[in-house]
Amino acid sequence: MELISPDLGTIFWSTIAFSIVLLILKKFAWKPILNFLRERENSIENALKAADQAREEMSLLHANNEKIIAKAKGERDKILKEARELKESIMNEAQEKAISESKKILNDARIVVKNEKVTARNEIKNQVTNLSIEIAGKILHQKLRTNEEQEELIEKSLRDIKFE
């Protein structure tokens, strides 16, 4: 039963030992422990703030990245549109140039054909004229074998010609 009901001296010395241990802890350990706990609390709070700030910066960077990507896509689309327009203008220009060249070639060919046609007509006329003169000469030669016939033809021709 002595263990269940403590003696007054044991209580007194236990209280004094507890108070001494409490004073020693308060003097030497309590402040460093509290300071360590405050520092730990501050570092955790700062880490949480830094994490929130980093999260905000990441969201801003993500938004900026999306803007940059959208801008790059817009520029890419603009460049592709300009390239298509340039391609179409070059193709149209080449087509127009080919059409004008073909028209020029056709016109030149028509002119050459026309000139060749005129030249051929003139040659044919010259040949017909030469042949006609030869034929007329041969006919006259056969018809006018004598001097009398020749003089008669000359006189007739002179009468037919009217002088003005």
Query: Is-contact 149 143, C-beta < 8 A?
Result: yes
Is it the case that residue 47 has pLDDT exceeding 90? Answer: yes
98 vs 148: which has the higher pLDDT: 98
pLDDT band at 2, cuts 50/70/90? low
End-to-end Cα separation, the chain, in angstroms: 186
Sign for the pseudo-dihedral over CA of 41, 43, 46, 50: negative
Give pTM, 2 decimals. 0.41
Is it the case that residue 5 has pLDDT exceeding 90? Answer: no
- pLDDT at residue 135 in the model: 80
Q: Which residues contact 150 (CB under 8 A, 6 or more apart)?
A: 144
- pLDDT at residue 3 in the model: 58
- pLDDT at residue 162 in the model: 64
Residue positions counted in the chain: 164
pLDDT digits (tens, 9 = 90+) for 107-147: 999 999 999 999 999 998 888 888 888 887 777 777 767 77
pLDDT digits (tens, 9 = 90+) for 51-94: 999 999 999 999 899 999 999 999 999 999 999 999 999 999 99
Is it the case that residue 1 has pLDDT exceeding 60? Answer: no
Distances (CA, A) of 9 to 2, 3, 21, 67: 13, 13, 18, 81
Q: What is the token pair recorded at 160?
A: 């037919």
Nearest CA-CA partner of 142 in 132, 150, 130, 154: 150
Query: Is-contact 22 29, C-beta < 8 A?
Result: no
- pLDDT at residue 93 in the model: 93
